[in-house]
Amino acid sequence: MEHHTDVIIVGGGVIGSSVAYNLLQDGFEGEITIFEKDKTYEFASTPRSAGGIRQLFTSAINVQISRYSLQKYLTFPEDMAIGLEKAEIDFQQRGYLFLAKDNQMEYLRKQHVVQTRNGVPAELLSKNELQAIIPELHINDLVGGLYCAEDGYLDPYSVMQGYIRKAKQLGANYVYEEVDAICKEKGSVSGVKLRNGDLYHAPIVLNCAGAWAPAISGTVGISIPVEPLKRQIIQFDFAKPLENDLPLTVDPSGVYFRHEGSSVIAGYSEKVKPGIDFKWSREFFYETLWPVLAHRIPNFEKAKIKSGWAGIYSMNTIDQNAIIGSHPQLKGYYLACGFSGHGMQQAPAVGKGLSELIRTQKYETLDLNQLSIERFSTNKLITEGAIV
Ligand SMILES: Cc1cc2nc3c(=O)[nH]c(=O)nc-3n(C[C@H](O)[C@H](O)[C@H](O)COP(=O)(O)OP(=O)(O)OC[C@H]3O[C@@H](n4cnc5c(N)ncnc54)[C@H](O)[C@@H]3O)c2cc1C
């Protein structure tokens, strides 16, 4: 079967669905077809994310993207409401906190300059001030921290569903089929071929396939510096409740943790071989997470694993930042991938930016040109020091 449509989006996760929503909300009149291979989203990165939302980045572009997105998440329930039903996303503004040891504080001070210059209400805290936020925190080996009270965490699955429902209401056409290949004709993208053999023709194809983005890009002969990388999260209960709700806290070791209901979830960017792998292990908790957690918060010494999972980062192997915009070698081919560990907090801004680029051929709200794939050939990399 052959079909014609105006815009094709490969991948209906948070990024693809935000692009579809923004295009339609901004008045795009053509037909948008989103292909999603898994209607349950079992293995997509979005529902497996920790949902951390922070403005505490070190590059101005990432700070600006997060600031825009945070504002959008504050009004998300109303903006994405369907009739009287609000799109609740459980955004808990409990803060984001980086803890520092030894010379790490100097580095946080430098970050603080970039953040405050860009309007972020970031605060440098002494080690004693940290205990006002987490009274149980073990501070003997710390020198201080960097905190932003506006930040926090949300429920990624609900965000994605909010975008999907609203995009559908505005007219987006979700097709639950796998794209086998992107097609081209004389230097322009021409559509996609599905695994079931159907052909969809369109002058614009966006690659929002997350961890599968490099594979699908390879079908049209374009390689992108992204690889899938496993990340584990473990949820655990502990005996003695904490006095306050936790901010999303990043220990100097890189282990991060936050409340999830009355339990805590924790993760760490361990060294692993690239590839799609969803195995998680209790050993990861006992050997890697727990020693750090129990040292940092004595209440975590008695911990019982409740559940765990592994999800996949679409890791940009060159500078760990998103790759956004049109591809110079193939007219009509757009990328939105390589988000590494920060795609949730970038989804609203990226959707808005790509809507503008596709409709008007330029960015209007935020200039995302720095994130184009051309930065690799011109060696204008994004230097981001706060990768979690
Ligand atoms: C453990 C973990 C923790 C994280 N923590 C955070 C955090 O705290 N804060 C933050 O901002 N970000 C975090 N992230 C990153 C964030 O989750 C991702 O950057 C974001 O979800 C990426 O969204 P996406 O839509 O690009 O990818 P996905 O959600 O993976 O969506 C891509 C979709 O494309 C579909 N697809 C792929 N190939 C095809 C094809 N050929 N045909 C049709 N469909 C296809 C897939 O089925 C999938 O549903 C975390 C990620 C992980 C794994």
Which CB contacts under 8 angstroms, 24+ apart, belong to 267-275? 267/50, 267/231, 267/232, 267/233, 267/234, 268/232, 268/292, 269/231, 269/341, 269/387, 269/388, 270/231, 270/232, 272/229, 272/230, 274/227, 274/228, 274/229, 274/315, 275/228, 275/230
Ligand 1 contact via 11 beta carbon (within 6 Å): yes
* pLDDT value at residue 52: 97
Residue 136 identity (one-letter amino acid):
E
Q: Is the pLDDT of residue 363 over 90?
A: yes
Establish whether residue 248 lines the binding site of ligand 1, counting it when its CB lies within 6 angstroms of any ligand atom: no
5 CB less than 6 Å from ligand 1?
no
To 10 degrees, what angle do helices 104-117 and 60-74 make? 60
- Neighbour count for residue 387 (Cβ, 10 Å): 17
**pLDDT tens for residues 310-361?**
999 999 999 999 999 999 999 999 999 999 999 999 999 999 999 999 999 9
pLDDT tens digits, one per residue of 301-322: 999 999 999 999 999 999 999 9
Q: Let me know if 85 is exposed, middle or buried by CB neighbors in 10 A (0-12, 13-18, 19+).
A: exposed
Could you tell me the pLDDT band of residue 384, with boundaries at 50, 70 and 90? confident
339 CA distance to ligand 1 middle (Å): 8
CA 143–ligand 1 middle distance (angstroms) = 35
Question: What is the rounded average pLDDT of the residues 84-99?
Answer: 98
pLDDT score at 383: 82
pLDDT at 261: 95
Q: Which pLDDT score is estimated for 311?
A: 97
Are 157 and 46 spatial neighbours (Cβ–Cβ below 8 Å)?
yes
Residue 386: per-residue pLDDT: 78
Provide φ and ψ at 62, rounded to 5°: -70, -35
Give mean pLDDT, residues 238-248.
Answer: 96
* Confidence tier at 179 by pLDDT (50, 70, 90): very high
pLDDT score, position 388: 81
- Band the pLDDT of 201: cuts 50, 70, 90: very high
The Cα 99–Cα 253 span in angstroms is 9
b/e 38-77 (16+ beta carbons within 10 angstroms → b): eeebebbbbbbbbbbbbbbbbbebbbbbbbbbbebbeebb
| Residue among 269, 264, 363 at smallest CA distance from 312 | 269
Q: What is the structure's pLDDT at 385?
A: 76
- 145-184 per-residue burial string, b: 16 or more CB within 10 A, e: under 16: bbbbebbbbbbbbbbbbbbbbbbbeeebebbebebbebbb
Indicate which atom in ligand 1 lies nearest the CA of residue 153: 8
Determine the straight-line distance between the first and last CA of the chain, rounded to whole angstroms.
Answer: 45
**139 has pLDDT over 80:** yes
What is the 363 CA–ligand 1 centroid distance (Å)? 24
What is the atom index within ligand 1 of the atom nearest the CA of 336? 26
Q: Is the pLDDT of residue 89 over 90?
A: yes
| CB contact set of 60 (below 8 Å; sequence gap of 6+) | 114, 117, 118
Segments of the chain assigned to CATH 3.30.9.10: 96-152+228-316
So what's the pLDDT on residue 72? 98
* Amino acid in position 361: Q
pLDDT at 27 > cutoff 80: yes
Domain spanning 96-152+228-316: which CATH class is it, in words? alpha beta
Record the tokens describing residue 273, joined without a space. 């071989």
Task: Please give the distance, rounded to the nearest whole angstrom, from the Cα atom of residue 39 to the centre of ligand 1.
Answer: 14
Q: Give the architecture (CATH level 2) of 2-75+156-225+318-378.
A: 3-Layer(bba) Sandwich (3.50)
* Cα–Cα distance, 325 to 259 (Å, whole number): 35
Q: pLDDT value at position 138? A: 98
As a whole-number percent, the residues of the chain with pLDDT over 70 amount to 100
| CATH 3.50.50.60 domain locations along the chain | 2-75+156-225+318-378
Above 90 in pLDDT, residue 84? yes
pLDDT in tens, 275-299: 999 999 999 999 999 999 999 999 9
CA 209 / ligand 1 centre spacing (Å): 8
Q: Which of 49, 96, 195, 255 to mutate to test the pocket of ligand 1 (most atoms within 8 A of CB)?
A: 49
Which helix (H) or strand (E) segment holds residue 214: the answer is: helix 213-218
Higher-confidence position of 383 and 301:
301
Average pLDDT, the chain: 97
Q: Does residue 129 surpass a pLDDT of 90?
A: yes
Q: How far is CA 52 from the centre of its chain?
A: 8
Question: 312: Cβ below 6 Å to ligand 1?
Answer: yes
